[in-house]
């Protein structure tokens, strides 16, 4: 991935926001990080994006809740509208 300095700053700020939101949701141990290669690199990739999770169970629980949260809410509203 190639980023300009402005894009790098924007991505780092977005990851900081995500990390803060995840911590506020009760999982401060979940982190997203961006690493930049500072030595000579072969190829076009100078960044590595990483996420760390305490376990597969936490990953499944958290991502399932995030992905289904909006759908469950919308379904509930539709059911209420039909009655």
The pLDDT value given to residue 1: 63
Provide DSSP, 11-77.
HHHHHHHHHHHHHHTT-TT-EEEEEE--S--SSS--EEEEEE-S-HHHHHHHHHHHHHHHHHHHHHH
The pLDDT value given to residue 23: 93
Q: Is the pLDDT of residue 81 over 70?
A: no
Higher pLDDT residue, 42 or 82? 42
């Amino acid at each position: 991935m190639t980023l300009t300095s402005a894009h790098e700053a924007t991505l780092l700020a977005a990851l900081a926001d995500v990390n803060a939101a995840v911590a506020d949701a009760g999982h401060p141990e979940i982190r997203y990080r961006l690493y930049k290669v500072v030595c000579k690199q072969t190829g076009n990739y100078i960044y590595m994006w990483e996420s760390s999770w305490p376990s597969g169970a936490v990953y499944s629980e958290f991502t399932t809740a995030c992905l289904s949260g909006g759908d469950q809410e919308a379904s509930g509203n539709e059911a209420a509208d039909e009655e």
